[in-house]
């Protein structure tokens, strides 16, 4: 605890330094959307400027706006960063803060373990899950990932568990078949598990993953907690993101998903019916539905959140009408774990018991997920998947700073990329677009709120990725205008 507090202080002071740094680097680089190379196109010169889409978390803006005096509106207006609100608000810091500190890469957890050294390539470990036998291997292939990073610091960990996961469809016009023809092919790995479940918890996996903090591993989560919590995710519904496809498919050969961010671009869009007509509808964080059905639809099959972002949403958007995660029979809750509090809340929800400890201690999970929630409705992203997304799709320059441990893809980005890896066709609505300044932060705001940028996410890099995926024909991104030459 004391350690955390000290680290928080450190982070605060670091923040001011960062500001200076940002002001120097302040580029507001011209965004080039066309086939931008898959390199971190845009650093984390996150600005507090604006943007719309949502889904990113620093949800806490309302309550923290004042404390996080946003950087002075410098000439270029748009670039500067702020620390994420979590760091100010007295909420629990991301586990990741436990390995903050000097640039010098190599987080303590990154020491080589025997598992790592002995299993560079194809080490296989086998075990019985009870549900069925699954084979795992750790991949270490650098697969087309350009030679650019010959000496990656160990905290990156660009090797992942791999499972033999048969596709759920034979869709001929799906993402899987199209990705081969795009420049993005080198980034995709088949077999990285999107979700984690009971069968994944072994001492070997714990050893392997505990070197990665926050959402990218199991660092800071003790083995006992993992076993006790993940053991409740032990059915096939917990292993598949789209677990009920066979009941839904009817005659369709392809799985169509709508992924809905909370960006202001959705306001007055009239997209509700179109969104609801997909097989699956994904939402995240402060997704307010009531009163906005015309624009955002009414169904939710998958709701993605972390415990931290959920609590922040409930605090920050209550005034706008957010009362908690959507409740419906078809809704599944997909946890993005970046702290042991996520595991604890998940277990409480599955077992209908109060949360045992941590910030949510004593809370009744039915308050968030309703009385009818059962373990079959709960899912949890695999830390390998989050790390894979960070490393291969959203490798922000923030990873080269001392904020590397608090940086992660935003919750909305994880949701959209999870859909990209499981659905055959993905339409994305309410995500950040190059004309983001024209829209308020969220679709439910009555007056214009610019989007805040924080160093824990790289919303511009995400925006750029959505453009690339859209142009490559891998997703269909809802935009008001086709973006041609942007400045
Ligand atoms: C999962 O369920 C199977 C029975 O279906 C059981 O044998 C196995 O021990 C369970 N695994 C865990 C981790 O609880
Ligand atoms: C896809 O096609 C293969 C080969 O024809 C078949 O074995 C498999 O069952 C099909 N999968 C689905 C989900 O229809
Ligand atoms: C795309 O590539 C994957 C392997 O990377 C392969 O299994 C699949 O058959 C390919 N699809 C097409 C349409 O070429
Ligand atoms: C966005 O704002 C700019 C300048 O304020 C304006 O020129 C442009 O037409 C707007 N675009 C849309 C789609 O409203």
> For residue 181, which ligand has an atom nearest its CA?
3
pLDDT in tens, 362-388: 999 999 999 999 999 999 999 999 999
- What three-state secondary structure class fits 203? helix
In this prediction, residue 151 carries a pLDDT of 77
Between 141 and 23, name the one with better pLDDT: 141
In this prediction, residue 82 carries a pLDDT of 63
Q: How long a stretch of residues is the chain?
A: 487
Q: Which of 232, 282, 322 is nearest to 414 (CA)?
A: 282
Q: Is 234 in the pocket of ligand 1 (CB under 6 A)?
A: yes
In this prediction, residue 152 carries a pLDDT of 87
Question: Atom 3 of ligand 3 has which residue's CA nearest to it?
Answer: 180
Compute how many other C-beta atoms are within 10 angstroms of the C-beta atom of residue 177: 12
What atom in ligand 3 is closest to the CA of residue 185?
5
What atom in ligand 4 is closest to the CA of residue 435?
1
Pocket test for ligand 2, best of 170, 250, 252 (most atoms within 8 A of CB): 170
In this prediction, residue 79 carries a pLDDT of 41
As its CATH architecture, domain 40-477 has: Alpha-Beta Complex (3.90)
DSSP bridge pairs for 283: 303
> For residue 50, which ligand has an atom nearest its CA?
4
**Lowest mean pLDDT across 88-102, 200-214, 404-418, 467-481:** 88-102
> For residue 191, which ligand has an atom nearest its CA?
3
> For residue 479, which ligand has an atom nearest its CA?
4
* Contacts by 72-77, CB closer than 8 A, 24 or more apart: 74/23, 74/26, 76/26, 76/28, 77/28, 77/47, 77/49
Report helix angle 383-392 to 411-420, nearest 10: 90
List the Cα angle 380/386/387 in 5-degree steps.
Answer: 140
**Lowest mean pLDDT across 41-55, 218-232, 410-424, 426-440:** 41-55
Q: Is 231 in the pocket of ligand 1 (CB under 6 A)?
A: yes
- What's the rounded mean pLDDT across residues 381-400? 97
> For residue 173, which ligand has an atom nearest its CA?
3
- Joined together, the tokens standing for residue 289 give 């539905």
Q: Is 486 in the pocket of ligand 4 (CB under 6 A)?
A: no
> How far is CA 270 from its chain centroid?
27
- What three-state secondary structure class fits 16? helix
In this prediction, residue 124 carries a pLDDT of 33
Q: How far are the Cα atoms of 298, 314, 319 from residue 16, in angstroms, in the given order?
A: 43, 29, 31
In this prediction, residue 419 carries a pLDDT of 98
User: For the chain, what percentages of helix, strand and coil (3-state, to nearest 5) are there?
Assistant: 35, 10, 55
Query: Residues lining ligand 3, CB < 6 A?
Result: 177, 180
CB 170, CB 253: distance < 8 Å: yes
The CA 368 to ligand 4 mean position distance, Å, reads 39
Between 65 and 79, name the one with better pLDDT: 79
- What's the rounded mean pLDDT across residues 64-86? 39
DSSP bridge pairs for 379: 334
- pTM value is 0.76
Using a pLDDT cut of 70, give the percent of the chain over it: 68
What atom in ligand 2 is closest to the CA of residue 170?
1
Q: Is 170 in the pocket of ligand 2 (CB under 6 A)?
A: yes
Contacts of 158 (CB under 8 A, 6+ apart): 142, 145, 152, 388, 391, 392
**Lowest mean pLDDT across 5-9, 80-84, 176-180, 279-283:** 5-9
Q: Residue 116 pLDDT > 60, yes or no?
A: no
- What's the rounded mean pLDDT across residues 224-237? 97
pLDDT in tens, 91-102: 333 333 333 333
In this prediction, residue 43 carries a pLDDT of 31
- Joined together, the tokens standing for residue 210 give 């505990």
Q: Is 481 in the pocket of ligand 4 (CB under 6 A)?
A: yes
pLDDT in tens, 254-275: 999 999 999 999 999 999 999 9
Question: Atom 5 of ligand 2 has which residue's CA nearest to it?
Answer: 170
Q: Is residue 154 packed enough to be buried (19+ CB in 10 Å), middle (13-18) or exposed (0-12)? A: middle
What atom in ligand 3 is closest to the CA of residue 179?
1
Pocket test for ligand 4, best of 266, 435, 486 (most atoms within 8 A of CB): 435
Compute how many other C-beta atoms are within 10 angstroms of the C-beta atom of residue 236: 11
For the ranges 123-127, 133-137, 407-411, 477-481, the one whose mean pLDDT is highest: 407-411
* Banded pLDDT at 165 (limits 50, 70, 90): confident
Between 303 and 142, name the one with better pLDDT: 303
Q: Is 298 in the pocket of ligand 2 (CB under 6 A)?
A: no
In this prediction, residue 3 carries a pLDDT of 45
Using a pLDDT cut of 90, give the percent of the chain over it: 66
Pocket test for ligand 1, best of 223, 234, 237 (most atoms within 8 A of CB): 234
Name the one residue in this structure whose structure tokens are 């015309």: 294
Supply the mean pLDDT for the chain. 78
DSSP annotation of 60: T
In this prediction, residue 27 carries a pLDDT of 32
Q: Is residue 282 packed enough to be buried (19+ CB in 10 Å), middle (13-18) or exposed (0-12)? A: buried
């Amino acid at each position: 605890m004391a350690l955390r507090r000290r680290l928080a202080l450190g982070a605060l002071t670091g923040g001011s330094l960062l500001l200076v740094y940002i002001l120097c680097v302040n580029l507001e680089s011209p965004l080039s959307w066309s086939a931008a190379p898959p390199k971190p196109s845009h650093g984390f010169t996150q600005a507090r400027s604006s943007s719309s889409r949502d889904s990113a978390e620093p949800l806490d803006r309302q309550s923290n706006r004042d404390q996080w005096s946003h950087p002075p509106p410098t000439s270029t207006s748009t670039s500067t960063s702020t620390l994420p609100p979590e760091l100010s608000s007295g909420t629990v810091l991301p586990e990741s803060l436990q390995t903050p500190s000097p640039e010098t890469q190599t987080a303590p957890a990154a020491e080589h373990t025997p598992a790592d050294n002995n299993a560079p390539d194809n080490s296989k470990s086998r075990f019985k899950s009870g549900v069925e036998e699954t084979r795992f291997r750790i991949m270490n292939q650098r697969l087309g990932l350009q030679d650019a990073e010959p000496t990656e610091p160990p905290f990156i960990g660009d090797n992942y568990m791999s499972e033999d996961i048969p596709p759920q469809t034979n869709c001929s016009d799906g993402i899987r078949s199209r990705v081969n023809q795009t420049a993005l092919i080198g980034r995709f790995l088949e077999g990285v598990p999107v979700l984690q479940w009971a069968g994944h918890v072994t001492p070997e996996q714990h050893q392997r993953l505990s070197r990665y903090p926050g959402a990218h591993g199991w660092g800071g989560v003790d083995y006992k907690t993992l076993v006790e919590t993940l053991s409740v995710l032990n059915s096939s519904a917990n292993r598949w993101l789209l677990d009920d496809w066979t009941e839904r498919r009817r005659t369709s050969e392809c799985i169509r998903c709508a992924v809905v961010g909370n960006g202001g671009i959705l306001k007055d869009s009239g997209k509700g019916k179109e969104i609801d007509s997909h097989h699956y509808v994904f939402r995240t964080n402060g997704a307010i539905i009531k009163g906005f059905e015309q624009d955002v639809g009414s169904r939710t099959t998958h709701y993605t959140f972390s415990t931290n972002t959920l609590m922040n949403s409930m605090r920050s958007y209550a005034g706008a009408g957010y009362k908690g995660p959507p409740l419906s029979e078809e809704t599944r809750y997909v946890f993005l774990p970046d702290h042991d509090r996520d595991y604890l809340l998940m277990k409480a929800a599955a077992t209908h018991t109060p949360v045992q400890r941590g910030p949510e201690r004593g809370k009744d999970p039915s308050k968030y997920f309703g009385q009818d929630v059962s373990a079959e409705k709960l899912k949890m992203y695999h830390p390998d998947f989050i790390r894979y997304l960070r490393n291969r799709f959203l490798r922000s320059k923030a990873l080269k700073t001392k904020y590397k441990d608090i940086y992660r893809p935003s919750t909305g980005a994880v949701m959209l990329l999870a859909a990209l890896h499981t659905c055959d066709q993905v339409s994305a609505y309410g995500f950040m677009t190059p004309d983001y300044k024209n829209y308020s932060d969220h679709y439910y705001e009555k007056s214009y709120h610019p989007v805040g940028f924080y160093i824990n996410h790289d919303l511009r890099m995400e925006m750029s990725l959505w453009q690339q995926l859209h142009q490559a024909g891998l997703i269909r991104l809802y935009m008001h205008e086709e973006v041609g030459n942007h400045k």
